[in-house]
Amino acid sequence: MIFALCLLAPAAFAQQAADAVAPEAATGLAPEAPAPVTAQDWMVAAANPLAAEAGARVLREGGSAADAMVAVQAVLGLVEPQSSGLGGGAFLVWYDAATGALTTLDGRETAPMAATPTLFQVDGEPMGFFDAVVGGLSVGTPGTPLLMEEAHRRWGRANWGGLFDEAISLAEDGFAVSPRLATLIADDAERLSSSEATAAYFLPGGTPLAEGATLVNAAYAETLRAFARDGSDAFYSGPVAEGIVATIRGAAQPGVLTLDDLAAYDVVERPAVCAPYRGAEICGMGPPSSGALTVGQILALIEPYDIAALGPDDPQAWRLIGDASRLAFADRGRYMADSDFVPMPRLLDPGYLAERAALLAGDDALPEVTAGTPPWDHAALELADDTSLELPSTSHISIVDSAGNALSMTTTIENGFGSRLLAPGGFLLNNELTDFSFRTHSDGVPIANRVEPGKRPRSSMSPTIVMRDGAPVMVVGSPGGSRIIGYVAKTIVAHLDWGMDVQQAIALPHLVNRFGTYDLEEGTAAAALAEPLAALGYETNIRGLTSGLHAIAIAADGLTGGADPRREGVAIGE
Ligand code: DON
């Protein structure tokens, strides 16, 4: 009924839904959350207090969001080394207050030119996931250093060299190992022992670093000094680059990355991908990330339904979100990959999305979900579904500066501690290439996200800026592998439809459906939805869902920020 009404008047309905936003947050599923951080001029939200403070210092002194990001990333690479750093890649979405323009920078890792489609196969069969992750084979050419430099070149106001002062001091004087880092080191001790240099740093004398231990990283300080002095050339050539290649080539499972791959690396500017939702535009990173397309599809598929009226405690709200997500993930698995290599159909075509949205009109979970048949500009390709896996690490940075610029950046070395290879320059190397499909074909049909030389592996990272009337109203993103998409979509729905402030929206328990099974967040009220969702036909699975959402809402009366209570992040603003 609701759906029919919306098909007739979608614009009017969207307005009605926006008007229906509850002024107070709903109770029930919504947990008690601390008040959000508020500010007037600027704000930074990041995964570690030391990193957020480094960014805050830059913003307080009049630096731009791009300047602050450089300082935050330099510190994160030290204090949260398992998640992101110079040895990884990142996507950045930028709103420019002076021009009103929105753009994205793609600093994703690339496959070395010597990589072949069967990189992760042995005797024609895919390797075990962690057999592929640990060692040199999984390392893609890092993009984060050049992304930092490029963002500063375009939008920086502060002196480049000074942006590393904080990180250099912390690396030289030492910092206290955080509880989360200590736990992750202990949990991963066996894999971290696979490389001598990595073991010496994280497991000195064979013992995992304890919470509160002072950790010094003189090699990282030296790398940062060179980066501060000579820019990214100091990373992509010379001793740092030689150290990276030697580490990859000398690993127990050697990789194929060369000095030429490093020298040839480029950051790519791409148009932001935007999808309309409730009168706003949800804008983010296009291919090689599947983030903005999949978040955009999920929201487009639920837009015809009155999610605001249902509220977060109604299993029907989660049926709509869950099945919209399954449909979007089916398209993601079939069609999304690095579009510089694989033509893609028009996955946000309004007519196509209306057809897919109509599939949600029933009352029960869809018995079966497959990829749809979106329109093509290119001759339609026959593609097989992809089954590649993604597991925990990654970090999200949200920043708004005093000039009104907004930055949303998700940054990663892929798995926790990446390839477990510590380069001589004092940073971990990514395992991003395992975001490719290990298989090239399925039943003779090619898989879009197969490995190819120079290609960027498909990502789920969803750095997002929500725009309304041409101005940013929300900056958000998260780690979490392919669950990132669900975390970000939920936080947007909780804020826009359910009227929660960003801290409540982040804290709202997660219910994430990617491929059919409904993941419900352990230890939260989401578990109470297991029975009603099972009655609608879902298989449910109660488990930890460790997002790391950082969000800033931007309104006429100031900034409101939130950090994910599931990790160690903070929002700081003035
Ligand atoms: O690019 C991606 O989608 C993944 N490599 C991100 C990995 C991740 O978020 C792990 N999270 N906890």
What is the CA(268)–ligand 1 centre distance, in A? 20
Using CA atoms, how far apart are residues 131 and 123, in angstroms rounded to an integer? 14
Using CA atoms, how far apart are residues 370 and 327, in angstroms rounded to an integer? 7
Query: Hey, whose CA ends up nearest to atom 10 of ligand 1?
Result: 392
Using CA atoms, how far apart are residues 162 and 22, in angstroms rounded to an integer? 45
Q: What is the pLDDT of residue 12?
A: 31
Cis? peptide before 392, omega within 30° of 0: no
What is the CA(98)–ligand 1 centre distance, in A? 32
Query: Hey, whose CA ends up nearest to atom 1 of ligand 1?
Result: 459
- Catalytic positions are 394
Residues of the chain with pLDDT under 50: 1-26, 388-390
Picking from 131, 120, 165, the residue whose alpha carbon sits closest to that of residue 437 is 120
Using CA atoms, how far apart are residues 394 and 474, in angstroms rounded to an integer? 21
506 vs 291, 500, 552, CA distance in Å?
18, 9, 11
From start to end of 354-497, where are the E strands? Answer: 395-400, 406-412, 441-442, 445-446, 464-468, 471-477
What is the CA(513)–ligand 1 centre distance, in A? 17
Using CA atoms, how far apart are residues 330 and 324, in angstroms rounded to an integer? 10
Q: What is the pLDDT of residue 391?
A: 54
Neighbours of 371 (CB within 10 A): 18
What is the CA(435)–ligand 1 centre distance, in A? 8
Using CA atoms, how far apart are residues 257 and 433, in angstroms rounded to an integer? 11
What is the CA(519)–ligand 1 centre distance, in A? 17
Q: What is residue 272's DSSP assignment?
A: P
Q: Point out the ligand 1 atom lying closest to the alpha carbon of residue 391.
A: 10
Using CA atoms, how far apart are residues 86 and 242, in angstroms rounded to an integer? 15
Pocket test for ligand 1, best of 133, 484, 510 (most atoms within 8 A of CB): 484
Q: Point out the ligand 1 atom lying closest to the alpha carbon of residue 416.
A: 10
Pocket test for ligand 1, best of 386, 414, 433 (most atoms within 8 A of CB): 414
Q: What is residue 386's DSSP assignment?
A: P
Query: Hey, whose CA ends up nearest to atom 8 of ligand 1?
Result: 481
Q: What is the pLDDT of residue 33?
A: 87
Using CA atoms, how far apart are residues 386 and 331, in angstroms rounded to an integer? 10
* pLDDT tens digits along 514-572: 999 999 999 999 999 999 999 999 999 999 999 999 999 999 999 999 999 999 999 99
Q: Which residues contact 169 (CB under 8 A, 6 or more apart)?
A: none
Pocket of ligand 1 (CB under 6 A): 390, 392-394, 412, 414, 432, 435, 459-461, 479-481, 484
Pocket test for ligand 1, best of 84, 394, 550 (most atoms within 8 A of CB): 394
What is the CA(505)–ligand 1 centre distance, in A? 21
Pocket test for ligand 1, best of 293, 391, 393 (most atoms within 8 A of CB): 393
Residue 276, helix vs strand vs coil? strand
Using CA atoms, how far apart are residues 45 and 404, in angstroms rounded to an integer? 15
Q: What is residue 333's DSSP assignment?
A: H
Using CA atoms, how far apart are residues 358 and 571, in angstroms rounded to an integer? 40
Q: Tokens standing for 236?
A: 């992509």
Q: Are 342 and 336 in contact (CB under 8 A)?
A: no
Q: Point out the ligand 1 atom lying closest to the alpha carbon of residue 89.
A: 1
Q: Tokens standing for 70?
A: 């450089």
Query: Hey, whose CA ends up nearest to atom 6 of ligand 1?
Result: 481
What is the CA(410)–ligand 1 centre distance, in A? 9
What is the CA(294)–ligand 1 centre distance, in A? 15
Helix (H) or strand (E) holding 192: helix 189-192
Q: Point out the ligand 1 atom lying closest to the alpha carbon of residue 457.
A: 1
Q: Point out the ligand 1 atom lying closest to the alpha carbon of residue 432.
A: 5
Q: Point out the ligand 1 atom lying closest to the alpha carbon of residue 435.
A: 5
